[in-house]
Amino acid sequence: MMLKEAVSAAECVALQLSQDADRYAALGQTLRTTQFNTALTIARGSSDHAANYCAYLIMARMGRVVASLPMSLLTLYKSPLVTRNTLTIAISQSGQSPDVVEPTGYFRNGGATTVALVNDITSPLAQTAEWAMPLHAGKEQSVAATKSFITSLVAGARLVAEWQNDPDLKAGLAALPDALAAAAQADWSPAIDVLAPARNIMVVGRGISFPIALESALKFKETSALQAEAFSGAEIKHGPMALIEEGYPLMIFATRGPTQAGLVQLATEMRGRGARVLLAAPSDIAERDLTLPTAATPDLDPIVAVQAFYVMAAKLAEARGMDPDRPRHLSKVTKTN
């Protein structure tokens, strides 16, 4: 089921892009004409990784600093946070977790602009936010989120494209369904050969690829019971380096952009230290171990990169004797306060 749902992401994205155009345009107009002193994301798990990607685009393209809200400040500590001139973006598949719904309601009641990117448009979160934008991923059966994560990334990029009113980013989004369909056919079997017997792995990204490293590490844990940690390529030399030993697996996402050269160099250095590097990079990078598919514009590359990863992750779980659709101790909807 995980593999089937991951591969269906292209169709889900095509559906999303065909819907709600006027609503996204109206949201973009609102964002362009509203003054924000604070911008926050509200999310957990895979949705938080999608929020990190959206935040990166907002900071890089719109110049607004975005922070991830520690939800317990409101749900447990009852902190009197200032809400005026604030934008909040909540992301959720189910829209049911109290620690996502309650902060969204708190900020909306305080006059903030509240946006929810949510798959279940009838959920409490969708009812609470001022702007509820449906993901159109359809019902997801597998516990491990795949198509809902990809559609969350697309919705975040779509929000930014309308906010910036950028024709190139809009055109890149329109081309995503074909790019995702191609990415689902990528051959990442060399990663399965390395990771099927592995006990742990580091996953590395930087800049716009770091949210994908975070998501990949989570999926390794969820679906393959593989101890995985995600690190920025800028941080790995500060302490995590001490874990590197002969044969230690290291997956590096070197998507296009200013961080790519440093990540390719990091792969070379780590190989020199004995690590078993899996460098995921576009076809023009000769040192690559895994070919990263690309989108129409580099800012959308993480979306097609994670599509290729998901297909491999589902097959890896089976190679390790696991059922990716029923991870141990996990359920589809998690409700935390």
pLDDT at 238: 74
Tell me, what's the pLDDT at 242? 65
Bridge partners for 92 per DSSP = 118
Q: Does 224 score more than 90 pLDDT?
A: yes
List C-alpha distances in Å: 169 to 24, 42, 62, 108. 14, 24, 13, 29
pLDDT at 237 over 80: no
Catalytic machinery residues: 332
Instruction: Note the pLDDT tens digit of each residue in 302-320.
Output: 999 999 999 999 999 999 9
Strands (DSSP E) found in 83-140:
86-92, 113-118, 131-134
Over residues 141-160, mean pLDDT: 93
Share of the chain above pLDDT 90, in %: 88
Above 80 in pLDDT, residue 192? Answer: yes
Confidence category of residue 332, pLDDT binned at 50, 70, 90: very low
Query: Does residue 328 carry a pLDDT above 90?
Result: no
User: Residue 142: is its pLDDT beyond 80?
Assistant: no
Give the Cβ contact number of residue 152 at 10 Å: 28
**How does pLDDT run across 9-54, given as a tens digit for each residue?**
999 999 999 999 999 999 999 999 999 999 999 999 999 999 999 9
3-state secondary structure of 303: helix
Q: For all residues of the chain together, what is the average pLDDT? A: 94
CA distances from 301 to 18, 185, 218, 293 (A): 21, 16, 19, 7
